[in-house]
Structure 1
Amino acid sequence: MEIAENAALVVVDVQKGFDEAGFWGPRNNPGADDNIAALVDVWQATGRPVVFVRHDSPKPQSPLRPEYEGNDLKEYVQERRGKGTGLELFVTKTVNSAFLGTPDLGAWLAENGISQFVLAGIQTNMCVETTARMGGNLGYDVLVAYDATYTFDLEGPFGWRRSADEVAQASAVSLHGGGFARVVTTKEIVDATA
């Protein structure tokens, strides 16, 4: 695997509100935050561009709604903002895809000649997956650091309920098997940046 010198790391919705277990329910991958932090550190140390994304939920009861503390980025992410030597962008959005936020992520990537990006963040099957799918559709080389993402148990139609692990695995299979993105591990990505 090759990670381009100007590959962007897109850190999706790593916000305090996702720690409210009473709202979201059981989650998977307890090591995700450490892996997200490791990726940001590597990107900043190598001068690569980092994009921080925040979800501003329009739903009044959401822990991610603006002007509620859950909307804030988690401390370890906030502390790293502005610390790298490479380009940095902060995007806010109200929908699942970081490509539909402000400022325009696609325009920024194009402006800076970036054709490859790595995704990490929350939730695997929601905003990470949607951003990966759009990126793949738009022709970007997209990598998803699977173990630097997490999600929650979910109920769908017909009373079907899936655990967070099952939901995350289904998302990874759809992305990778469908050719939208390559789903890899944090270690594989870190090793490829050396």
Structure 2
Amino acid sequence: MDIAESAALVVVDVQKGFEEAGFWGPRNNPGADDNIAELIDVWQSTGRPVVFVRHDSPKPQSPLRPGYEGNDLKDYVEERRGKGAGAELFVTKTVNSAFLGTPDLGAWLTAEGIRQVVVVGIQTNMCVETTARMGGNLGYDVVVPYDATYTFDLEGPFGWRRSADEVAQASAVSLHGGGFARVVTTEEVVGAAGL
């Protein structure tokens, strides 16, 4: 696997509101935050571009709503903003895809000459997957380090309920098997990034 010198790390919705287990329920990938932090550090130390994305939920009860502390980026992410040698962008959105936020992610990637994106963050099957799918549809080379994402148990139609692991694995299979992205590990990405 090759990670381009210009590859952008897109850090999706790593916000304090996702720590509210009473709202979200059980989660998976307990090491995801450490892996996200490691990838941000690698990107910043190698001068690669980083995109930080925040979800501003329009739902009044959401832990991610603006004006509520849960809307804030987790401390380890906020502390890293502005610390890299490479280009940096901050995107806010109200929907699942970072490509439908403000400012326009696609326009920025084009202006920067970026064709490869590495997508990490929360939730695997929601905003990470939607951003990765749209990236693939738009012609980007998309890489998703699975263990630098996490999600929660979920109930769907017909009373079907799936654990966070099952939901995340289904998302990974759809992304990888469907050709939207390459789903890999953090270790593989760090190795390919030249460290």
TM-score (normalizing by structure 2): 0.99
Alpha-carbon offset, residue 95 of structure 1: 0.1
**Shift of residue 193 of structure 1?**
0.7
Q: Tell me which stretches of 4 or more aligned residues in structure 1 moved more than 4 Å.
A: none
- 3-state SS of paired residue (1:147): helix
Q: Distance in 2 between matches of 1:61 and 1:80?
A: 29
Q: How many angstroms apart in 2 are the aligned matches of 1:145 and 1:11?
A: 11
Query: C-alpha displacement at 1:112, in angstroms?
Result: 0.5
Q: How many residues align?
A: 194
Residue matched to 1:151 = 151
CA RMSD between the two structures: 0.2
2:55 matches 1:55: yes
Alignment of 1:171-190 (within 5 A): 171-190=171-190
What's 2:127 paired with? Answer: 127
Return the alpha-carbon distance in structure 2 between the equivalents of residues 139 and 62 of structure 1: 33
Q: CA deviation at 1:72?
A: 0.1
How far off is 1:158 after superposition? Answer: 0.3
3-state SS of 1:52 partner? strand
Residue 14 of structure 1: how far off its partner (Å) = 0.1
Q: What is the SS of the residue equivalent to 2:148?
A: strand
Displacement of 1:96 = 0.0
Structure 2, unpaired ranges of 5+: none
Q: Specify the alignment match of 2:80 in structure 1.
A: 80
Q: Deviations over 1:129-170 (max 9, x none)?
A: 000000000000000010000000000000000000000000
Q: Using the alignment, how far apart are the partners of 1:157 and 1:19 within structure 2? A: 26
Q: Deviations over 1:58-91 (max 9, x none)?
A: 0000000000000000000000000000000000
TM alignment of 1:80-119, pairs within 5 A:
80-119=80-119
- Whole-angstrom CA distance in 1 between matches of 2:74 and 2:133: 25
Equivalence for 1:21? 21
Q: Following the alignment from structure 2 to structure 1, what is the Cα–Cα distance between the partners of residues 111 and 65?
A: 30
C-alpha separation in 1, matches of 2:179 and 2:193 = 23
Gapped runs of 5+ residues in structure 1? none
Hey, what does 2:45 align to over in structure 1?
A: 45
Shift of 1:100: 0.1
